[in-house]
Amino acid sequence: MTTKSAVLFALFLAVFATPLQAEEIRYENLKVSTIQSTGPAAQRADIVFVSEGFLADQHREYDAQVRSCLNILWSVSPFKELKDKFNVHVVYVDALRGTGYDSRGKRQIIYPFGSEYSGNTSSVRLTKSDKVRVAAANAPGADYIIVISTLAGRSHAGGMVVLAGDHAALPHEFGHLIGGLGDEYSSRSQLRDRDTHVLPSGRDLHYPNLQVDSKIDTTNSQSIQKTAKWGHFLDLPDADPIVSAYQGGYYRDIGVWRPSYSCIMRSSQGAIFCPVCHEELYKAILQKCRQPFAHEAYHRRFPLKNWKTKMY
The residue ranges of every structural domain in the chain are 31-177, 191-311
Per-position DSSP letters for 71-99, written without gaps between them: HHHTTSTTTTTTGGGEEEEEEE---EEEE
User: Are the beta carbons of 259 and 273 closer than 8 angstroms?
Assistant: no
Determine how many CB atoms are found less than 10 A away from the CB of residue 152: 10
Using CA atoms, how far apart are residues 269 and 83, in angstroms rounded to an integer? 21
Buried b vs exposed e over 38-71: b needs ≥16 C-beta within 10 Å?
A: eeeeeebbbbbbbbbbbbeebbeebbebbeebbe
pTM over 0.85: yes
pLDDT in tens, 150-178: 988 777 777 888 887 789 999 999 999 99
Phi, psi of 52 (to 5 degrees): -140, 105
User: Are the beta carbons of 90 and 27 closer than 8 angstroms?
Assistant: no
Q: Is the peptide bond before 241 cis (omega within 30 degrees of 0)?
A: yes
Asked whether the predicted pLDDT for residue 36 surpasses 70, the reply is yes
Asked whether the predicted pLDDT for residue 190 surpasses 80, the reply is no
Domain 31-177 sits in CATH at: 3.40.390.10
Per-residue pLDDT band at 3 (split at 50, 70, 90): low
Bridge partners for 115 per DSSP:
126
pLDDT in tens, 194-236: 677 788 888 999 999 999 999 999 999 999 999 999 999 999 9
What is the length of the chain?
312
Closest to 142 (Cα-Cα) out of 125, 158, 160, 157: 160
